Chain A
Amino acid sequence: NAGVTQTPKFRILKIGQSMTLQCAQDMNHNYMYWYRQDPGMGLKLIYYSVGAGITDKGEVPNGYNVSRSTTEDFPLRLELAAPSQTSVYFCASSPSGGANEKLFFGSGTQLSVL
């Protein structure tokens, strides 16, 4: 049981390039999330999804897009990368957002935009 898998682990982008961060979970969780973690700033929610075909914005969605065509996959798309998007990105999931459900995280993608 792999849990939440993120690829790639590291990536360097040039300003203006685009890329997709991949996230997959094998726990049949309905809820999935994308966070970014900046040094000393805690985790900020970018987008989340409560099920296939349903996505919604979090606190910091500008410059990002997501899709959720299957329960398992929740890719994050960066269009026209900017230095402000240099961060560590985490994908997370939970079964159905219930009050007794823990949040499960992937190991993260460290992205640098130069």
Chain B
Amino acid sequence: KQEVTQIPAALSVPEGENLVLNCSFTDSAIYNLQWFRQDPGKGLTSLLLIQSSQREQTSGRLNASLDKSSGRSTLYIAASQPGDSATYLCAVSTGNQFYFGTGTSLTVIP
């Protein structure tokens, strides 16, 4: 069974700092990996999707990498802003099902 782990569970950084969130998974047979943002009391919004054949994806200040062989992905956020404060979840797809990590709660301090 696929297990997805995210470290750290919580992170607090000053505004402007670059930061890295980590995601690891146990089974490398995946279709894709997605990073999501969840604001309190809201649903999840997909930020980046990396297909299993890709190494990274970029959107604005966000860059996600995927190393399928080692079962790891990172989400890099450049020049963090208070508006980036949220919970970030990663999820791997095996086709019909997605397996989610428990998330990293990020606080960016002004």
Query: Which residues of A does B touch, CB under 8 Å?
Result: 4, 31, 33, 35, 40-45, 48, 50, 56, 58, 90, 92, 97-108
Does B89 touch A at the CB level, under 8 Å? yes
Number of interface residues of B (CB under 8 A): 25
Which of A50, A56, A105 interacts with B45 by CB under 8 Å?
A: A105
* Complex CA distance for A98 and B45, rounded to whole angstroms: 18
Nearest to B30 among chain A residues (CB) is A99
* Complex CA distance for A74 and B31, rounded to whole angstroms: 24
* Complex CA distance for A48 and B96, rounded to whole angstroms: 8
Residues 76-105 of B at the A interface (beta carbon under 8 Å)? 89, 91, 93, 95-98, 100-103
Does B21 touch A at the CB level, under 8 Å? no
B101-A42 in contact (CB<8A) = yes
A105-B49 in contact (CB<8A) = no
Interface centre among B52, B95, B98 (most CB of A within 10 A): B98
Knowing A100-B51, A103-B34 touch, does A43 contact B100 (C-beta < 8 A)?
Answer: yes
Nearest to B46 among chain A residues (CB) is A102
B42-A56 in contact (CB<8A) = no
Which of A42, A50, A100 interacts with B89 by CB under 8 Å?
A: A42
What does the 1/0 interface line of B20-46 toward A look like (CB < 8 Å)?
000000000001101010000111111
Knowing A42-B103, A99-B32 touch, does A104 contact B46 (C-beta < 8 A)?
Answer: yes
Nearest to A50 among chain B residues (CB) is B96
B96-A108 in contact (CB<8A) = no
Chain B contacts of A56 at CB under 8 A? Answer: 96
* Complex CA distance for A71 and B20, rounded to whole angstroms: 39
Nearest to A43 among chain B residues (CB) is B100
